[in-house]
Amino acid sequence: MTTPSFAIGIAGGTGAGKTTLAREMVDGHADAVTLIPIDNYYDDLGHLPFEERAEANYDHPSAFEWELLREHLDALLDGDAVEMPQYDFTEHRRTEETVHVEPTDVVVLEGIFALYDDVITASLDLRVYVEADADVRILRRIERDVVERGRDIEDVIEQYRATVKPMHERYVEPTKKTADIVVPEGANGVAVDLLAEKVRAESTAGLGLDR
């Protein structure tokens, strides 16, 4: 059993490049990193009709199951495995399956609210906020949501106006002040290299050691 030695939180607005940064900084050390995408902890709205699920506000903190996320983060940091829920953006609900996740040397928590919850933030060793201009983020998001999340461009724009932008300004952007590091433009080469070096150091430190 491995007890993680280091926990990193990566927050930032939608489309800022959080997922890309997380992926690139663990490149080559993926076996030593446990990734927790906070999106997997959206409340399951499976009991509602699809139209209602599509209209929900997914950018308010109350859209997430914080208790389960805290419980799973605690378990992983204590060296215990979890059954992680999985989220389907095309259906706006959790899938039937969970994924068995074992703790490793480094835990990376990634999502718009990675630095929102005081209890969670206190258990992180490094807090990162990824920043990108709003116009860059919405353009990235339109492309991604249409190609990968099965959305119409009109719906993406309307959702952005109605909830994504106002919630970002009210709840996500203010978490930047709790960050240790603010990364401009997401997966920029210098930031990736620095964070990758930290991940490598923590992974090497944990090699072969049961803690």
Ligand X SMILES: Nc1ncnc2c1ncn2[C@@H]1O[C@H](COP(=O)(O)OP(=O)(O)O)[C@@H](O)[C@H]1O
C-alpha to C-alpha distances, 148 to 26, 99, 135, 140, 173, nearest whole angstrom: 23, 21, 20, 12, 25
112 binds ligand L45E5XJ5 (CB under 6 A): yes
Using the minimum distance from each CB to ligand X, give the nearer residue, 9 or 12. Answer: 12
Using CB distances below 5 to 8 A depending on partner kind, what does residue 121 bind out of ligand X, ligand L45E5XJ5, none? none
CA 175 – CA 114 distance, rounded (Å): 9
When asked if residue 9 is in the footprint of ligand X (CB under 6 A), the reply is: no
Does 176 bind ligand X (CB under 6 A)? Our answer is: no
Q: Which stretch binds ligand X (CB under 6 A): 40-48, 83-91, 164-172, 179-187?
A: 179-187
Task: Choose from ligand X, ligand L45E5XJ5, none: what does 17 bind? Cβ within 5-8 Å by kind.
Answer: ligand X
Asked if 35 is part of the footprint of ligand X (rule: CB under 6 A), the reply reads: no
Count of residues touching ligand X (by CB under 6 A): 14
Cβ-proximal residue to ligand X, closest one = 17
- Say whether residue 187 binds ligand X (CB under 6 A): yes
Q: Which residue is nearest to ligand L45E5XJ5 (CB)?
A: 14
Q: Kindly write down the DSSP assignment for every residue of the chain, as one continuous string.
A: ----SEEEEEEE-TTSSHHHHHHHHTTT-GGGEEEEEGGGGB---TTS-HHHHHHS-TTSGGGB-HHHHHHHHHHHHTT--EEEEEEETTTTEEEEEEEEE---SEEEEESTTTTT-HHHHHT-SEEEEEE--HHHHHHHHHHHHHHHS---HHHHHHHIIIIIHHHIIIIIGGGGGG-SEEEETSS-HHHHHHHHHHHHHHHHHHTT---
Using CB under 6 A, pick the residue from 24, 59, 131, 202 that binds ligand L45E5XJ5: 59
* Contact residue for ligand X among 12, 85, 103, 206 (CB under 6 A): 12
Q: Is 140 an interacting residue with respect to ligand X (CB under 6 A)?
A: yes
Chosen from ligand L45E5XJ5, ligand X, none, partner binding at 108 (C-beta under 5 to 8 Å by type): none
The strands making up 126-131's β-sheet, listed across from edge to edge, are 33-37, 106-110, 6-12, 126-131, 181-184
Residues at the site binding ligand L45E5XJ5, with contacts judged by CB under 6 A? 14-15, 18-19, 39, 42, 58-59, 89, 92, 112, 164
Question: Given the rule CB under 6 A, which residues bind ligand X?
Answer: 12, 14-20, 140, 144, 185-188
